[in-house]
A and B are shown apart, each in its own frame.
Chain A
Amino acid sequence: MSTQEPILSVRDLEISYRTGAGRTVAAVRGVDFDLYPQQSLALVGESGCGKTTLGLGLLRLLPKLGRVTGGEIAYRGRDGATRDVLAMQGRELRQWRWSEVAMVFQGAMNAFNPVLRISEHFADTIRAHRVDGPRPSRKAVHERAAAALEAVRLEPARVLPSYPHELSGGMKQRVLIALALLLEPQILVLDEPTTALDLLTQRSIVNMLHELRERFGFAMIFVSHDLPLASELADRVATMYAGRIIESGTVHDVFTTPRHPYSVGLIKAVPPVRAGAAEPASIPGSPPDLAHLPQGCTFRARCPYAIDECAETDPELLPVESRPDGLVSHEAACIRWEHVSLHEQKEVAGR
Chain B
Amino acid sequence: MTDPKSDKAPLMALRNVSQVFHTKRGDVPAVRDVTLTVGAGDVLCLVGESGCGKTTTARMAAGLARPTSGSVEFEGEDVDTMDSRRRHEFRRAVQFVHQDPYASLNPIRSIFGTLSSPLRRHGLAKNRAEAWEQAKALLERVDLTPAENFLPKYPHQLSGGQRQRVAVARSLTLNPRLMIADEATSMLDVSIRVGVLRTLTRLRTELDVGFIFITHDLAIARYFGTGGKIAVMYLGRVVEYGDAHEVIDNPQHPYTKALLAAVPDIDPDQRHTHDPGLRSVDIPSLTALPSGCSFHPRCPLYREGDCDTVPPQLAEVSPGREVSCHVVAGDAAERDGAAR
**Is A271 an interface residue when CB atoms closer than 8 A count as contact?**
yes
Q: Which residues of B contact A200 (CB under 8 A)?
A: 49, 258-259, 262, 276, 278, 281
Contact B271 A232 (CB under 8 A): yes
Contact B216 A198 (CB under 8 A): yes
Contact B266 A282 (CB under 8 A): no
Query: Which B residue's beta carbon lies closest to that of A284?
Result: B195
Query: Which B residue's beta carbon lies closest to that of A276?
Result: B249
Q: Write out, one digit per residue, whether chain B residues 276-306 have a CB within 8 A of any chain A CB (1) or not (0).
A: 1010011100000000000000000000000
Contact B248 A256 (CB under 8 A): no
Q: Which residues of B contact A270 (CB under 8 A)?
A: 190, 219, 266
Q: Which residues of B contact A207 (CB under 8 A)?
A: 274
**Is B160 an interface residue when CB atoms closer than 8 A count as contact?**
yes
Q: Which residues of B contact A271 (CB under 8 A)?
A: 193-194, 197, 219-220, 222-223
Question: In the complex where A203-B274, A231-B268, A232-B265 touch, is A265 in contact with B191 (Cβ < 8 A)?
Answer: yes
Q: Which residues of B contact A267 (CB under 8 A)?
A: 266
A225 partner, pick from B190, B264, B269, beta carbons under 8 A: B190
Q: How many residues of B contact A (CB 8 A)?
A: 43
Q: Which residues of A contact B198 (CB under 8 A)?
A: 282
User: Main secondary structure on chain B at its contact with chain A?
Assistant: helix
Question: In the complex where A203-B262, A270-B219 touch, is A255 in contact with B268 (Cβ < 8 A)?
Answer: yes
Contact A273 B222 (CB under 8 A): yes
Question: Min CB distance, B215 to chain A, in Å?
Answer: 11
Contact A227 B190 (CB under 8 A): yes
Contact B266 A231 (CB under 8 A): yes
Query: Which B residue's beta carbon lies closest to that of A198?
Result: B49
A161 CA to B269 CA in the complex, in Å? 44
**Is A170 an interface residue when CB atoms closer than 8 A count as contact?**
yes
Q: Which residues of A contact B248 (CB under 8 A)?
A: 273, 275
A273 partner, pick from B49, B219, B271, beta carbons under 8 A: B219
Contact B262 A282 (CB under 8 A): no
**Is B92 an interface residue when CB atoms closer than 8 A count as contact?**
no
Contact B216 A199 (CB under 8 A): yes
A272 CA to B222 CA in the complex, in Å? 8
Contact B160 A47 (CB under 8 A): yes
Question: Min CB distance, A219 to chain B, in Å?
Answer: 19
Q: Which residues of B contact A206 (CB under 8 A)?
A: 264, 274
Q: Which residues of A contact B267 (CB under 8 A)?
A: 231, 255-256
Q: Write out, one digit per residue, whether chain A residues 17-47 have a CB within 8 A of any chain B CB (1) or not (0).
A: 0000000000000000000000000000011
Contact A252 B268 (CB under 8 A): yes
**Is A269 an interface residue when CB atoms closer than 8 A count as contact?**
yes
Contact B193 A282 (CB under 8 A): yes
Q: Which residues of B contact A201 (CB under 8 A)?
A: 49, 281
A275 partner, pick from B195, B249, B266, B270, beta carbons under 8 A: B249
Contact B264 A232 (CB under 8 A): yes
Q: Which residues of A contact B191 (CB under 8 A)?
A: 46, 265-266, 269, 282-283
Residues of chain B in range 142-159 having any CB-CB distance to chain A below 8 Å: 159
A46 CA to B191 CA in the complex, in Å? 7
**Is A292 an interface residue when CB atoms closer than 8 A count as contact?**
no
Residues of chain B in range 177-231 having any CB-CB distance to chain A below 8 Å: 189-195, 197-198, 216, 218-220, 222-223
Contact B190 A266 (CB under 8 A): yes
A271 CA to B198 CA in the complex, in Å? 12
Q: Write out, one digit per residue, whether chain B residues 237-267 have a CB within 8 A of any chain A CB (1) or not (0).
A: 0000000010011000000001111111111
**Is B312 an interface residue when CB atoms closer than 8 A count as contact?**
no
Question: In the complex where A198-B50, A269-B190, A273-B248 touch, is A286 in contact with B161 (Cβ < 8 A)?
Answer: yes
Contact A273 B194 (CB under 8 A): no
B264 partner, pick from A46, A204, A228, A252, beta carbons under 8 A: A228
Contact A273 B281 (CB under 8 A): no
**Is A251 an interface residue when CB atoms closer than 8 A count as contact?**
yes
Contact A199 B262 (CB under 8 A): yes
Between A and B, 9 residue pairs with Cβ closer than 8 Å are A198-B216, A203-B262, A227-B266, A228-B264, A231-B266, A231-B268, A256-B267, A270-B266, A282-B192
Q: A227-B266, A270-B190 are in contact. List 19 more A-B contacts (CB 8 A).
A: A198-B49, A198-B283, A199-B49, A199-B259, A201-B281, A202-B264, A226-B264, A231-B266, A251-B268, A256-B269, A269-B193, A270-B219, A271-B193, A271-B220, A271-B222, A272-B219, A274-B270, A280-B194, A282-B191
| Closest 10 A/B residue pairs (Cβ) | A203-B262, A228-B264, A198-B49, A282-B195, A271-B223, A273-B219, A282-B194, A283-B191, A228-B266, A271-B219
